[in-house]
């Protein structure tokens, strides 16, 4: 049965408390109050801060007796300086929590500002050593996604670039998971087609890599499969019919599902993408989309059975791996995703450095086929040249 947009509403806990559906942004003050906020700092990005949705959110909170500050000095791939600047605003404004509103950059920056709100040590002291952080020292976060890609609104991690090393660090703590989410797909209606495509491919990358990760997690596999079905059915519609609220709602759900699923693991797509984003400031979802078929082809020996199940579930023409690979290539082509790193504007003068960084990325050991610096450099070269064998 096809639901109309107004029926695409629900209150979920998985385990984050999620208020999902068109118009739910009106409930932001109630949600903030429910998690104990009285003076939140709204963290967003420079592209959103002047838009009505942000100003209306601040005004709505103010009308409810909840003064709300704004911080928006965030790069598309957030760096430690963005967090430090946000902490100054947070502390000087005597704020007591975060409303992270935007895409992945705002979500990640907001979550790390909350992580560091009461810390006296360096951010990098907690890279890979989350057990020394006390949960009660992490400020509460309410997440309001305005894209359908990263799924960071339900994640317990955030990615921040170390400016000196140009390495993306994945900071993780169970207490970083937002206390509540207001997932209103109407907020994504104004997202341009190219960003809708890039963020949607990010959601697909999360679901696909989680599904392929070589660990036993049937719940994550089921969520990833349904997330990919939603992408298969609705991403092209969302890109080409940007005002289609049903498509926007289903893609927002798919993005959230991808982030829930990838607690199982990710893989070489993300390991390759993280260094490229850190060094060249490329869009993360678009970079994932470029690498996706090359990594899929490399992983073929280990994922044949999974791809057969995926092809059947999506109802793809033809069997197994080849059908899935053709689907991804056709989808990228229909959405205008570049096929090569060259087309993405990434030079090849630092492939040795990038391969070292990719091999050290936490996602690399989660790949279904083992990877090392040599393999990852070869994958960079294949993505540069567009060398992909398709039967």
Please enumerate in sequence order all residues whose Cβ is within 8 A of that of 206, keeping only pairs 6 or more positions apart, or say none. 150, 151, 224, 227, 255, 258, 259, 261, 262, 266
- Buried b or exposed e, range 14-32, using 16+ CB within 10 angstroms: eebbbbbbbebbebbbebb
User: Which CATH number is 81's domain given?
Assistant: 3.40.50.1970
* Residues 148, 193 within the same domain: no
Which of the four pLDDT bands, split at 50, 70 and 90, describes residue 330? very high
* Residues 232, 181 within the same domain: no
- Whether 10 maps to a domain, the answer reads yes
Burial, 345: exposed, middle or buried (Cβ in 10 Å; 0-12, 13-18, 19+)? exposed
Report d(CA 262, CA 143) in Å as an integer: 19
Please name which of 333, 358, 350, 353 lies closest in space to residue 384, comparing C-alpha atoms: 350
Q: What is the mean pLDDT of residues 15-36?
A: 94
Report d(CA 158, CA 17) in Å as an integer: 19
Which of the four pLDDT bands, split at 50, 70 and 90, describes residue 238? very high
* Residues 328, 224 within the same domain: yes
The answer to whether 90 and 71 have CB atoms below 8 angstroms apart is yes
Final residue in a domain of this structure, among 145, 162, 187:
187
pLDDT reading at 271 higher than 80: yes
* Residues 11, 61 within the same domain: yes
Which of the four pLDDT bands, split at 50, 70 and 90, describes residue 182? very high
User: Which CATH number is 202's domain given?
Assistant: 1.20.1090.10
* Residues 61, 119 within the same domain: yes
- 180-183: strand order across its sheet: 10-13, 17-20, 180-183, 141-145, 98-102, 41-43, 69-71
Residue numbers of the domain that contains 106: 5-187
pLDDT reading at 6 higher than 80: no
SS3 assignment, position 78: coil
Which of residues 169 and 312 earns the better pLDDT score?
312
* Residues 183, 235 within the same domain: no
Predicted confidence at residue 163, as pLDDT, reads 80
Could you read off the pLDDT of 122-155 as tens digits, one per residue?
Answer: 777 666 666 777 778 899 999 999 999 889 899 8
Q: Backbone phi, then psi, for 5, in 5-degree steps?
A: -55, -40
Could you read off the pLDDT of 191-212 as tens digits, one per residue?
Answer: 999 999 999 999 999 999 999 9
- Whether 390 maps to a domain, the answer reads no
SS3 assignment, position 317: coil
Predicted confidence at residue 125, as pLDDT, reads 67
- Whether 157 maps to a domain, the answer reads yes
Could you read off the pLDDT of 45-67 as tens digits, one per residue?
Answer: 988 898 999 999 999 999 999 99
How many Cβ atoms are within 10 Å of 52's Cβ, its own excluded?
9
Report d(CA 156, CA 177) in Å as an integer: 4
- Whether 391 maps to a domain, the answer reads no
Start-to-end CA distance of the chain, whole Å, equals 36
- Whether 89 maps to a domain, the answer reads yes
* Residues 133, 222 within the same domain: no
* Residues 236, 125 within the same domain: no
DSSP state of 183: E
Please name which of 56, 196, 179 lies closest in space to residue 111, comparing C-alpha atoms: 179
Q: Per DSSP, what are the bridge partners of residue 180?
A: 17, 142
- Indicate the average pLDDT of the chain: 91
Report d(CA 298, CA 214) in Å as an integer: 14
The answer to whether 362 and 170 have CB atoms below 8 angstroms apart is yes
* Residues 82, 171 within the same domain: yes
For residue 173, what are its two tokens? Answer: 């703590």
Could you read off the pLDDT of 338-352 as tens digits, one per residue?
Answer: 999 999 989 989 999
SS3 assignment, position 375: helix
pLDDT reading at 378 higher than 90: yes
pLDDT reading at 312 higher than 60: yes
* Residues 205, 161 within the same domain: no
What does the DSSP assignment read for 52-65? HHHHHHHHHHHHTT
For residue 21, what are its two tokens? Answer: 């559906």
The answer to whether 275 and 167 have CB atoms below 8 angstroms apart is yes
Could you read off the pLDDT of 98-125 as tens digits, one per residue?
Answer: 999 998 889 999 999 999 888 877 777 6
Q: Backbone phi, then psi, for 281, in 5-degree steps?
A: 55, 40
pLDDT reading at 283 higher than 60: yes
pLDDT reading at 86 higher than 50: yes
For residue 359, what are its two tokens? Answer: 């091999």
Final residue in a domain of this structure, among 187, 208, 229:
187
For residue 319, what are its two tokens? Answer: 């069997």
CA angle 182-186-189, nearest 5°?
135
Which helix (H) or strand (E) covers residue 290, if one does?
A: helix 284-314
- Whether 116 maps to a domain, the answer reads yes
Q: Look at the chain and report how many structural domains it folds into.
A: 2
Predicted confidence at residue 170, as pLDDT, reads 77
Please name which of 53, 11, 28 lies closest in space to residue 189, comparing C-alpha atoms: 53
- Buried b or exposed e, range 124-138, using 16+ CB within 10 angstroms: eebeeebeebeeeeb
What does the DSSP assignment read for 329-350? HHHHHHHT--SSHHHHT--STT
The answer to whether 241 and 188 have CB atoms below 8 angstroms apart is no
Final residue in a domain of this structure, among 187, 202, 217:
187
Predicted confidence at residue 391, as pLDDT, reads 44
Predicted confidence at residue 12, as pLDDT, reads 77
- Whether 339 maps to a domain, the answer reads yes
Give the range among 137-141, 226-230, 289-293 with minimum mean pLDDT.
Answer: 137-141
* Residues 220, 137 within the same domain: no
Give the range among 12-26, 232-246, 258-272 with minimum mean pLDDT.
Answer: 12-26
* Residues 21, 140 within the same domain: yes
């Amino acid at each position: 049965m096809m639901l109309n947009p107004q029926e695409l509403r629900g209150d979920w806990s998985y385990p984050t408390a999620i208020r999902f559906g068109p118009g739910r942004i009106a409930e932001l003050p109630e949600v903030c109050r429910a998690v104990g906020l009285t003076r939140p700092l709204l963290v967003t990005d420079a592209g959103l801060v002047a838009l009505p949705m942000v100003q209306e959110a601040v005004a709505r909170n103010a009308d409810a007796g909840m003064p709300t500050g704004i911080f928006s000095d965030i790069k598309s791939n957030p760096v430690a300086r963005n967090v430090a600047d946000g902490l100054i605003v947070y502390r000087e404004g005597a704020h007591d929590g975060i409303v992270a509103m935007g895409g992945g950059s705002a979500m990640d920056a907001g979550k790390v500002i909350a992580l560091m709100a009461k810390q006296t040590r360096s951010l990098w002291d907690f890279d890979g050593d989350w057990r020394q952080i006390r949960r009660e020292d992490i400020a509460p976060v309410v997440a309001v996604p305005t894209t359908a890609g990263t799924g960071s609104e339900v994640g317990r991690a955030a990615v921040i670039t170390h400016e000196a090393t140009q390495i993306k660090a994945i900071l993780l703590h169970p207490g970083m998971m937002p206390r509540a989410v207001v997932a209103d797909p109407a907020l994504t209606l104004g997202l341009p087609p190219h960003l809708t495509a890039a963020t949607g491919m990010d959601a697909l990358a999360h679901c696909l890599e989680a599904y392929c990760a070589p660990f036993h997690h049937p719940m994550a596999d089921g969520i990833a499969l349904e997330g990919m079905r939603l992408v298969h059915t609705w991403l092209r519609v969302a890109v080409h019919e940007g005002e289609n609220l049903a498509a926007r709602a289903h893609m927002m759900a798919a993005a959230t599902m991808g982030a829930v699923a990838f607690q199982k693991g990710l893989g070489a797509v993300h390991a390759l993408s993280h260094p490229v984003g850190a060094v060249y400031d490329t869009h993360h979802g678009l970079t994932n989309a470029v690498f996706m078929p090359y990594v899929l082809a490399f992983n073929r020996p280990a994922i044949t059975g999974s791809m057969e199940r995926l092809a059947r579930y999506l109802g793809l023409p033809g069997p197994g791996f080849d059908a899935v690979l053709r689907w991804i290539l056709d989808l990228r082509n229909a959405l205008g995703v570049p096929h090569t790193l060259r087309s993405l504007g990434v030079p090849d003068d630092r492939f040795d450095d990038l391969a070292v960084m990719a091999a050290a990325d936490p996602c690399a050991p989660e790949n279904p086929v083992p990877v090392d610096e040599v393999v990852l450099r070869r994958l960079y070269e294949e993505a540069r040249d567009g060398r992909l064998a398709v039967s």
